[in-house]
C-alpha cells in the first residue's frame, strides 16, 4: 500500500530520481506503465531493467522538431531526434516484448490509450505551460483510480532554461491541478512530483506533502517571478565566476 510513510521511506533511502522511481514502481507493483517524453531512452531502460514485474511499458515521444511550439532547449533538430529515437530502441531492445512505442505528441496518440488503463505514468515531455497543461489534462483520465502520475523538473524556479526559451512552470502548476482534482500530491527530492489519483470510493481531499524539507514552501507564481531571475543570474553567472576564482586560488597555492 502506498501511503505517506512508504513514499517518505523511499525518498529517504534513494539518492537520485532513477532510484526513487525504480523503488516506487516496484513497491507499488505498477504493471501497466507509460512514459511521456522519452528523449534518448535512459529513464525507460533503467526502469525496465530494474522493475521486472512490468507487463507493458508505453513510450510516447514525437522524436521530431516541433515548429511553433515546445520552445525549450530539448526541441532539437529532426536529425538529432531521429538518432535519439534509434538510441531509445537500442537501449530497450532487451524488453521489446514489453514496450509499446508511440511516435507522436500527446494529442496525436492519446486516443489510442484506453481510459483508466495505466497504473503509473511518468511525464517528462514539453516543460512549457502549454505542454504541461496538455499532458496533465489529457493523461489524467488514462490513469486508474488509485493510480499514480510522476513527473520530472518540478523545480523551485520557472527559469530552468536560458531566458530565450519559455519558462517551465511545472511547479506550481501541478499543485493547482492536483488541488482541482482533490488529489494527494508529493513534492519530492531531485525536482520530482508524485500525484495519487483518488480511488472511486473513499476520501477525496487535496493534500500537498513537501518531502524536501521546505523547498516548496511557497506555491505562488508571484514568488517565482520575483525570485526566478535572481536564481538564474546566480546559476548562469555568479556561481561559475565563484568556482573559477576558487580554482585560481587553489592552483596558486
- pLDDT for res 168: 85
Q: Which of 29-33, 165-169, 226-230 reaches the highest mean pLDDT?
A: 29-33
Q: Please report which confidence band the pLDDT of residue 64 belongs to, taking 50, 70 and 90 as the band edges.
A: very high
Q: CA torsion sign, 174 to 165 to 75 to 18?
A: negative
The residue whose grid cell reads 597555492 is: 253
- 62 within 8 A of 105, measured Cβ to Cβ: yes
| Percent of the chain whose pLDDT exceeds 70 | 92
Give the predicted TM-score (pTM) of the model: 0.88
- Does the pLDDT at position 221 exceed 70? yes
- Residue 164: per-residue pLDDT: 75
Q: How many CB atoms lie within 10 A of CB 147?
A: 22
Q: At what angle do helices 17-28 and 4-13 cross, to 10 degrees?
A: 140
Mean pLDDT of 186-198: 97
For residue 14, whether the previous peptide bond is cis, meaning omega lies within 30 degrees of 0, is no
| 37-59 mean pLDDT | 98
Q: Where do we find the cell 525507460?
A: 44
Rounded distance between C-alpha atoms, residue 184 and residue 190, angstroms: 19
Mean pLDDT value of segment 173-199: 97
116-150 pLDDT per residue, tens: 999 999 999 998 999 999 999 999 999 999 999 99
**Per-chain mean pLDDT for the chain:** 91
The grid coordinates of residue 15 equal 539518492
pLDDT computed for residue 169 by the predictor: 92
- Is residue 231's pLDDT more than 70? no
Q: Name the pLDDT band for 6 (thresholds 50, 70, 90).
A: very high
Q: What is the pLDDT, as a whole number, of residue 232?
A: 62
Q: How far is CA 238 from CA 167, 224, 232, 245, 246, in A?
A: 21, 19, 9, 11, 12
SS3 (DSSP) at 33: strand
> Taking the C-alpha atoms of 144, 147, 149 and 150 in order, what is their torsion angle to the nearest 10 degrees?
-150
What's the CA gap between 81 and 75, in Å, rounded?
9
SS (H, E, C) 67-99: CCCCCCCCCCCHHHHHHHHHHHHHHHHHHCCCE
pLDDT of 228 reads: 63
Amino acid at each position: 500500500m502506498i501511503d505517506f510513510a512508504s513514499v517518505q521511506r523511499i525518498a529517504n533511502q534513494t539518492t537520485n530520481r532513477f532510484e526513487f522511481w525504480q523503488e516506487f514502481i516496484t513497491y507499488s507493483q505498477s504493471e501497466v506503465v507509460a512514459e511521456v517524453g522519452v528523449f534518448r531512452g535512459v529513464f525507460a531502460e533503467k526502469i525496465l531493467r530494474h522493475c521486472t514485474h512490468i507487463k507493458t511499458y508505453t513510450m510516447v515521444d514525437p522524436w521530431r522538431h516541433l515548429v511553433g511550439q515546445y520552445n525549450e532547449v530539448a526541441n532539437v533538430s529532426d536529425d538529432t531526434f531521429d538518432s535519439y529515437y534509434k538510441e531509445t530502441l537500442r537501449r530497450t531492445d532487451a524488453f521489446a516484448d514489453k514496450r509499446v512505442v508511440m511516435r507522436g505528441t500527446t494529442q496525436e496518440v492519446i486516443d489510442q490509450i484506453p481510459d483508466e488503463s495505466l497504473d503509473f505514468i511518468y511525464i517528462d515531455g514539453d516543460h512549457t505551460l502549454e505542454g504541461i497543461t496538455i499532458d496533465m489534462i489529457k493523461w489524467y483520465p488514462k490513469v486508474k483510480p488509485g493510480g499514480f502520475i510522476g513527473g520530472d523538473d518540478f523545480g523551485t524556479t520557472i527559469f530552468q532554461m536560458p531566458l530565450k526559451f519559455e519558462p517551465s512552470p511545472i511547479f506550481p502548476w501541478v499543485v493547482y491541478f492536483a488541488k482541482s482534482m482533490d488529489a494527494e500530491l508529493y513534492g519530492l527530492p531531485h525536482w520530482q512530483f508524485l500525484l495519487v489519483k483518488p480511488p472511486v470510493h473513499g476520501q477525496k481531499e487535496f493534500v500537498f506533502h513537501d518531502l524536501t524539507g521546505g523547498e516548496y514552501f511557497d506555491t505562488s507564481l508571484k514568488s517565482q517571478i520575483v525570485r526566478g531571475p535572481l536564481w538564474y543570474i546566480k546559476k548562469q553567472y555568479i556561481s561559475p565566476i565563484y568556482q573559477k576564482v576558487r580554482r585560481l586560488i587553489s592552483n596558486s597555492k
